Structure 1
Amino acid sequence: MTERDYVQGLKSSVRNPAVSVKIVERPKAPSQVVAYTAKLLASAAEEYDQAWCVFDVDEFTDIDRAVTDADHSGIGIALSNPCFELWLLLHFTDHRSHAPSCTHLVPHLDRHTAGGYSKTGLDFRAYESTWREAVRRARELAPEGKEPEVNPSTGMWRLALAIGGPAT
């Protein structure tokens, strides 16, 4: 999974001893992912300082519910509109034009990745030196928390900073 590979790569790259990351993949609708995370958090709250859900707008109809439920449960949301590939593209360029779907973004991402972009073979080294630049670009796309309403936008910058530490 691209998101998992990216988060693990970022964690390894920044070597922040104060951060440990546990990734649980749940290929479900966003509200189901949030409900599962809330249940995990409730049963082991003392184990975690933060919990995050990473998902795309895609064609889901329960985004608003997922965001509201996450807010009520104290869960961070790293939502990308339309998809996570936007976050990856922001490592290379300041992409601000509407993206009707993920397939629209992949050719742009192909131009910046050696051998082309592969959803199943993400090599974090391609993104390692520019993740803070992606944070800056993503912050300029939408007001915090407004990602469901703005295309393109991504809240991955908040999770990246939670893992990598504040911007210097």
Structure 2
Amino acid sequence: MAPRRTKAKDLRRRTASRPERRTIVVFCEGEASEPDYINALKRLPHVRGNTAIDIEVDPNQGVPLTLVRRAIERSRDDEIDECWCVFDVEWPKHHPNLDQAIQLAADHGIRLAISNPCFELWLILHFEDRTAFLDTAAAERMSRKLDGRDGKRIDAERYMPHRKMAAGRAARLAGRHERDGSRFPDDNPSSGMYELLAAVEPEGR
């Protein structure tokens, strides 16, 4: 009797399929607090597992229009899913060409996280509500008082447990400005950082 044939065993290693990570590039005008904060986001396990975040800081602390133009160039890379620009309005003197930067970003699909008057407003919202107008100097003083730091650099890990609270406060500010008809740049105080958080964190986390 001829020996029974058996099916050859497939020796190729079977790997579990996992979804491909999204790639987001964030362009920052500041070289301290904004990158510090976003780097802390990158280190969160659920963010690290689902989203690759690349931070680019303008070496000349470029104005918003410069950031948007750099983001447009980078967005042409097919490997990148989203480009974001993080910048401030500044009060009492605004950054130049803000309206042009915003329109150019809209025309090319660049996402914006604008803080009005400055990024420190977003930091403040981690600890308390803030609904009254602030100029840049006042926001910086208040932010330092709340977290006890001396300069621009922040201990971003302290902020991570409070980021959802900050996002809720920022979203409520945006809703209030919309109801009141307060249009940019008169939407002070406000921060679009809550939208960047929603982009980098999987829903439900």
TM score, norm. by length of structure 2: 0.73
Q: Does 1:39 find its partner at 2:73?
A: yes
Aligned residue pairs, count:
162
Q: Is the 8 A contact 2:46 2:202 kept in 1?
A: no
CA distances 1:63-104 after superposition (whole Å, capped 9, x unpaired): 11111111111110000011000000000000111002x210
Q: Secondary structure at the match of 2:115?
A: strand
Letter in 2 for 1:151: N
Spell out the pairing of 1:30-69 with structure 2 (5 A cutoff).
30-42=64-76, 44=77, 46-58=78-90, 59-69=94-104
Aligned to 1:70: 105
Q: What is the CA–CA distance in structure 1 between the aligned matches of 2:53 and 2:185, rounded to whole Å?
A: 25
Q: What is the CA–CA distance in structure 2 between the aligned matches of 1:54 and 1:62, rounded to whole Å?
A: 15
Spell out the pairing of 1:12-161 with structure 2 (5 A cutoff).
12-16=43-47, 17-26=49-58, 27-42=61-76, 44=77, 46-58=78-90, 59-100=94-135, 102-113=136-147, 115-116=148-149, 118-119=151-152, 121-143=153-175, 148-161=185-198
More helix by share: 1
CA RMSD of aligned residues (A): 1.7
Q: Secondary structure at the match of 1:31?
A: helix
Gaps of 5+ in 1: none
TM score, norm. by length of structure 1: 0.89
Gaps of 5+ in 2: 1-31
Letter in 2 for 1:107: R
Q: Secondary structure at the match of 2:87?
A: strand
Provide closer, same or farther for how the CA distance between residues 93 and 167 of structure 1 changes in structure 2, counting only shifts above 3 A.
farther
Q: What is the CA–CA distance in structure 1 between the aligned matches of 2:45 and 2:127, rounded to whole Å?
A: 19
Letter in 2 for 1:71: A
Q: What is the CA–CA distance in structure 1 between the aligned matches of 2:98 and 2:122, rounded to whole Å?
A: 18
Identity of aligned residues (%): 33
Q: Which has the higher contact order (CA 8 A, sep 6+)?
A: 1
Q: What is the CA–CA distance in structure 2 between the aligned matches of 1:161 and 1:148, rounded to whole Å?
A: 23
Q: Secondary structure at the match of 2:52?
A: coil
